[in-house]
Structure 1
Amino acid sequence: METKHYLGGCLCGAIRFRATGVPGNPHTCSCTLCQSHSGAPTLCWVEFPKEAVEWIGEGGMPTLYRSSNGSSRSFCPRCGSTLGAIDDHPTVALVTGSFDAKDISEFRPVFHAFEDSCPNWWKIDIAR
């Protein structure tokens, strides 16, 4: 079986990544950190082991902002695009909107974290 590669990056193209292998923990999150990081009521995430993510663009690794104990948010220093979060433990969580391919079935969220933090007008019905 061939190993899957998923490519993505920021709006201006300076930060590019290649994630390899099996994505994990596909979910949406509406916590206040995700809302502030993205400017949106909800972010969609997928996780990979740190060693499975390579920063391959001319800009190298994204800029990090220490957002909480155990995690730093990542973004492009040139265009400001949200890219994800790099955890202290060996996980890189990438926002699904930063991937080149938009219809990846393995990225379909399986749960919604902090759904109670969504505005009342924003609800996502996730098949269970």
Structure 2
Amino acid sequence: MELTLSGGCLCGFIRFTAINPASSHSCSCDICQKHSGCQTAVWLEFNSADVKWTGEGGTPSLFRSSTTSSRAFCARCGSSVGAIDDTPVTALLSGIFDHNECAMFSPQSHSFQDMKPEWWRKIMPDTAQ
């Protein structure tokens, strides 16, 4: 059975539908921290062909953040949307989905735990890798 999810940015200029999520993970790398404005970002990954940009803004604006990925954001309101990798993976931030309450949004792994500040470790302890 195909699962279709939807969501968008703060102002609604960027909207999407996405089917068949592959996995969810969290990340505390410095790029994710800067992109999201949070100590840890939670992502839901999709095959890029399974993400359709449906809003008036079309495809989000991109900033090349590394040799393998670009960060996606709304040019109108500035909301962070996700990461579009050179491989056919699009990772969308969990907070931009219209309904993100179900268990599939719970991260299956956590990358770059070593980059969390000590005070954040007290609130969100490291997990076994």
| Structure 1 residue 37 corresponds to structure 2 residue 24 | no
Q: Which residue of 1 aligns with 2:72?
A: 74
| Offset, 1:111 | 1.5
- What aligned pairs does 1:46-65 form with structure 2 within 5 A after superposition? 46-65=44-63
| Structure 1 residue 24 corresponds to structure 2 residue 54 | no
Assess, with a 3 A threshold, how the Cα gap between structure 1 residues 126 and 108 changes in structure 2: closer, same or farther: farther
Q: Is contact 1:110-1:127 (8 Å) kept?
A: no
- What aligned pairs does 1:81-96 form with structure 2 within 5 A after superposition? 81-96=79-94
Name the one with the larger helix percent: 2
Q: Runs of 4 or more off by more than 2 Å in structure 1?
A: 123-128
Structure 2 unmatched ranges of 5 or more: none
Kindly provide the CA deviation profile for residues 54-102 of structure 1, in whole angstroms up to 9, marking residues without a partner as x.
0000110100000001100000000000100001110001110110102
Q: Is contact 1:110-1:126 (8 Å) kept?
A: no
Whole-angstrom distance in 2 between the partners of 1:106 and 1:20: 13
Whole-angstrom distance in 1 between the partners of 2:127 and 2:117: 20
Assess, with a 3 A threshold, how the Cα gap between structure 1 residues 35 and 51 changes in structure 2: closer, same or farther: same
| Offset, 1:125 | 4.9
User: Amino acid of the residue matched to residue 48 of structure 2?
Assistant: K
Give aligned-pair identity as a percent. 50
SS at match of 2:118: coil
Structure 1 unmatched ranges of 5 or more: none
User: Amino acid of the residue matched to residue 35 of structure 1?
Assistant: Q
Q: Could you state the TM-score of these two structures normalised by the residue count of structure 2?
A: 0.92
Q: Is contact 2:19-2:50 (8 Å) kept?
A: yes
Q: Which residue of 2 aligns with 1:14?
A: 13
Count of aligned positions:
126
Whole-angstrom distance in 2 between the partners of 1:3 and 1:48: 13
User: Amino acid of the residue matched to residue 117 of structure 2?
Assistant: P
